[in-house]
């Protein structure tokens, strides 16, 4: 056990935790926005997958991580638009549509990848980190937290932006009302439909960026089915966070560590079957749900389509 806790191991573990945690964070706060507005977005995994694919392609062909993130976000938005059409405008069952979108995106990205790259898996060049002065020089931790692509800093900054947005702006108020008592928002003259539409599109963008991060920075390649449940962990994070963006941050950190531990334990050649190690993050989900899920607060009108004038 003592050889496990070497400096290299711990640094690699923490470094990997951040890399694994950021996609979860982006997806989790994205889901939180959508859930606040009353749309349960089970299609999150699908949005991440499409974002990962489009983000990888853009980064690969344009040779730019930034364009990769942009197109990843737009890829997520394209799936979100379907979600908007079916669930917000037509008022269909959000769970059924969400599952369909996730499964559809899984097949679609695998197919597109096959057309595009056949059986090759081209690799992106390593990312150029933005080293933050002063704090970047802290031994070990500096490298873990402050030698990163700017998107990492933006993702964390977004958490605090959302804290402000939810508490201090009309957007936050309107989102919360749309999820709790949509009719209360409607009678004040704000369209529930457009509020929810923007919320779902924002979710799609964030999930797409998260997917692109997973492919471009986490892995450096795109492999079909690579999101591998991260979207569902994002949904769990949003549900446990009860509307607090900072809780999503803590949750993402926790799950990041457990995902990273999976890799680190394998690399360290620790004598546990890989299947058991790979179960770790999902065991974590179940443990977290047992501990905290009992009190998870969900908006009253979550997953209920809103039709004006219906009681």
* Sign of the alpha-carbon torsion through 140, 264, 230, 300: negative
**Is position 133 an interface residue for another protein (rule: CB under 8 A)?**
no
Long-range contacts of 184-192 (CB under 8 A, 24+ apart): 186/306, 186/308, 192/38, 192/306, 192/308
Residue 230 corresponds to which tokens in the numbers above? 């991260």
196: nearest Cα among 178, 170, 172:
178
**Is position 89 an interface residue for another protein (rule: CB under 8 A)?**
no
Nearest distance, CB of residue 161 and another protein, angstroms: 14
**Is position 309 an interface residue for another protein (rule: CB under 8 A)?**
yes
**Is position 170 an interface residue for another protein (rule: CB under 8 A)?**
yes
Nearest distance, CB of residue 181 and another protein, angstroms: 5
* Sign of the alpha-carbon torsion through 278, 101, 95, 242: positive
E strand or H helix at 99, and its extent?
helix 94-117
Q: Which of the stretches 5-13, 175-183, 199-207, 273-281 binds another protein when contact is defined by CB under 8 A? A: 175-183
**Is position 32 an interface residue for another protein (rule: CB under 8 A)?**
no
Q: Which of 54, 176, 203, 258 binds another protein (CB under 8 A)?
A: 176
Backbone φ/ψ region at 149: left (φ over 0), alpha (ψ -120 to 50), beta: beta
**Is position 94 an interface residue for another protein (rule: CB under 8 A)?**
no
**DSSP class of 288:** H
Q: For 213-240, give one letter per residue: b (16+ CB within 10 A) or e.
A: bbbbbbbbbbebebbbebbbbbbbbbbb
Q: Write out the binding residues for another protein, residues 178-197 only, by CB under 8 A.
A: 180-181, 183-191
**Is position 93 an interface residue for another protein (rule: CB under 8 A)?**
no
Task: Build a one-symbol-per-residue string for 201-240: x at contacts with another protein by CB under 8 A, - elsewhere.
Answer: ----------------------------------------
* CB closer to another protein out of 119 and 311: 311
288 vs 269: CA distance, rounded Å: 27
Nearest distance, CB of residue 38 and another protein, angstroms: 11
Nearest distance, CB of residue 184 and another protein, angstroms: 4
Q: Which of 67, 154, 173, 288 binds another protein (CB under 8 A)?
A: 173
Phi, psi (rounded to 5 degrees) for 177 = -65, -40
* CB closer to another protein out of 179 and 231: 179
**Is position 242 an interface residue for another protein (rule: CB under 8 A)?**
no
Q: Which of the stretches 7-15, 121-129, 165-173, 217-225 binds another protein when contact is defined by CB under 8 A? A: 165-173
Nearest distance, CB of residue 185 and another protein, angstroms: 6
With beta carbons less than 8 A apart as the criterion, state whether 45 and 30 touch. Answer: no
**Is position 4 an interface residue for another protein (rule: CB under 8 A)?**
no
112 alpha carbon, distance to own chain's centre: 22
With beta carbons less than 8 A apart as the criterion, state whether 224 and 110 touch. Answer: yes
- Binding interface with another protein (CB under 8 A): 168-174, 176-177, 180-181, 183-191, 308-309, 311
């Amino acid at each position: 056990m003592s050889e496990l806790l070497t400096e290299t191991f711990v640094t690699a573990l923490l470094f990997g935790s951040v890399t694994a945690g950021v996609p979860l964070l982006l997806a989790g706060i994205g889901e939180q926005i959508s859930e606040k507005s009353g749309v349960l977005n089970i299609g999150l995994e699908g949005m991440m997958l499409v974002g990962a694919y489009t983000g990888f392609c853009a980064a690969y062909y344009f040779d730019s991580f930034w364009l990769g993130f942009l197109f990843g976000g737009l890829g997520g938005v394209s799936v979100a638009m379907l979600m908007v059409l079916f669930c917000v405008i037509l008022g269909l069952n959000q769970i059924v549509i969400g599952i369909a979108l996730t499964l559809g995106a899984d097949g679609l990205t695998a197919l597109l990848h096959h057309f595009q790259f056949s059986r090759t898996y081209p690799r992106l060049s390593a990312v150029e980190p933005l080293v933050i002065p002063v704090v970047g020089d802290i031994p070990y931790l500096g490298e873990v937290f402050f030698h990163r692509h700017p998107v990492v800093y933006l993702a964390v900054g977004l958490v605090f932006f959302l804290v402000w947005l939810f508490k201090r702006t009309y957007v936050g108020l309107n989102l919360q009302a749309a999820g709790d008592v949509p009719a209360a928002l409607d009678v004040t003259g704000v369209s529930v439909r457009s509020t929810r539409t923007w919320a779902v599109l924002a979710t799609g963008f964030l999930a797409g960026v998260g997917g692109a991060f997973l492919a471009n920075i986490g892995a450096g390649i795109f492999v079909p089915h690579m999101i591998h449940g991260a979207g569902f962990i994002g949904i769990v994070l949003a549900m446990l966070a009860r509307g607090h963006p900072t809780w999503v941050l803590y949750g993402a950190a926790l799950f990041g560590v457990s995902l990273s531990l999976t890799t680190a334990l394998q690399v360290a050649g620790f004598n546990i079957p890989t299947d058991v190690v790979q179960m770790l993050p999902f065991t974590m989900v179940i443990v977290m749900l047992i501990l905290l899920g009992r009190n998870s607060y969900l908006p009253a009108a979550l997953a209920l389509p809103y039709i004006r004038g219906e009681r």
